[in-house]
Amino acid sequence: MPDVHGRTRLTTRASGGSPLAGGAAATVLERIVADALEPAYARGSDAARGAGRRGGGWARRLLLPLTLLLAGLLVAVSVRQAVDDAPSRERLRARLSAEYEARSTHRDGLASSVAVLRSATEGLVNRRRTADGLWAVANAEIDALAAPAGLAPARGPGARVTLVDPSAGPPADAGNPRPTAQGPDGRLADHDLADMVNALWATGAEAIAVNGVRLTALSAVRAAGDTILVGLSPVAAPYVVDVVGDPDTIVPGVTAAAVTLRLRTRMGAPPNAVTVARLDDVTVPAAPSPSLRYARGSGS
């Protein structure tokens, strides 16, 4: 590198060694600053700066179009994708909307069915309650009618009527279901017993049993040869008729009945031919369960 200070010393002296004037000194300093580098260095530096300016300009001029091109491509791709996806989204939206409407309609239909079934269930429950009430009433009526119908024992105040057959022979046994009569004039007949039973019904009897055999609407007093049958059961003298009912009505009524007077005044009748006793508590057994027959079709 050149000796700048030496050049300065040489330049700042005038001929003869006298100092330069002030303006001249300033000019010299400016030249020194301007020529601080060697010309070769200065040319190299200028060339480098020029090359940098030329290279940077081309890069800047290429970068902007490339950026705009890429941005345009991105926008175009986005727009194209949006355009392509729009029908798919519309179809999906339409399908979802249709499915929603269908499911809503199905739900409404199910709700209506539930309401109808709930109403039907409530109706059936009400009918069941009504039927249960009617069944309870019917059972109560059956229970109330069981004793008068003979299907249940009857108990209460009443009376006992005893009929004695003056011509009764030895007691009945398996081979002789009814004692044989000693004479046809004094024997009690089935119609005599039936007339006494009818007189008891007429006086207000609620339940009647002859020798422990309960009388019902299906029972009849009749004769089978020399045997008197109550229903299907044979009975023998003496005939004990137990009655449940109001004794204040039954006792005087049956005492004054025509059948009682006839049996007491018949030929050969004993003094105790007909006895009527008042009972404060009497029990009449239930009749055997009837065997009911039902009509059936020819094909059954």
- CATH code assigned at 226: 3.30.70.1880
Cβ atoms within 10 Å of 197's Cβ, excluding its own: 23
For the cut 90, the answer to whether the pLDDT of residue 66 exceeds it is no
258 in a domain, yes or no? yes
Q: Over the stretch 9-30, which tens digit does the pLDDT of each residue have?
A: 444 444 444 444 445 555 656 6
Is residue 164 included in any domain, yes or no?
A: yes
Is residue 135 assigned to a domain?
no
Secondary structure (3-state) at 279: strand
In this structure, is residue 107 part of a structural domain? no
Task: For the full predicted model, state whether its pTM sits above 0.75.
Answer: no
SS3 219: coil
Q: Which SS3 state, helix, strand or coil, does residue 200 take? A: helix
Task: List pLDDT tens digits, range 97-129.
Answer: 989 999 999 999 999 999 999 999 999 999 999
Residue 58 lies in a domain: no
Q: Is residue 253 part of a domain?
A: yes
127: number of CA atoms within 13 Å, CB side?
Answer: 6
Does 234 score more than 70 pLDDT? yes
pLDDT at 6: 44
pLDDT at 50: 56
Domain count, the chain: 1
- Residue 49 is given by DSSP the state H
- In which domain, by residue range, is 265 found? 155-284
Task: List the Cα angle 67/73/75 in 5-degree steps.
Answer: 100
Average pLDDT in the 148-173 region? 79
In a domain, 7, yes or no: no
Asked if the model's pLDDT at residue 169 lies above 80, the reply is no
Average pLDDT, the chain: 79
> Are 195 and 259 spatial neighbours (Cβ–Cβ below 8 Å)?
yes
278 DSSP β-pair partners: 159
Q: 204 in a domain, yes or no?
A: yes
Rounded mean pLDDT, 150-157: 91
